[in-house]
Structure 1
Amino acid sequence: MNNEPADTAEEPRGCLFALSQPPLMLFLTLVATLILLTAVHDLYRW
């Protein structure tokens, strides 16, 4: 006999769980770095 409630199934994972994944964070860091480098290049271009 199972005494656990039926609604203790795995909770749905939201956006914060997706953002905590290392491959996604590495990709977002790379994109942000490229955007920052292009912005600095445009500001200090001769």
Structure 2
Amino acid sequence: MTCAACVIIAREMLDTTQSEAAPPQDEPRGCLFALSQPPLMIFLAVIGCLLLMASLHDLLLL
């Protein structure tokens, strides 16, 4: 029974046809599209805060 389920899942994973909801290929996506993604902005904000805290620690406490 588990082998049949694996075969069904494997067939679905191998289906590489594009759906109709895919964005048109005419428009190239550039750097601004990548920067507008929320996970990247959160990551950059965290890194920026860590750098700011480290620099303030070096300037004010050492």
Fold equivalence (TM over 0.5): yes
Which structure has the larger Rg? 2
Unpaired segments ≥5 residues, structure 2: 1-23
Matched residue pairs, number? 39
Unpaired segments ≥5 residues, structure 1: 1-7
Q: Quick check: which one's helix share is greater? A: 2
TM-score by length of 2: 0.57
Identity across the alignment (%): 56
- Deviating 4+ runs (over 6 angstroms): none
Cα distance, 1:9 vs. partner?
Answer: 4.3
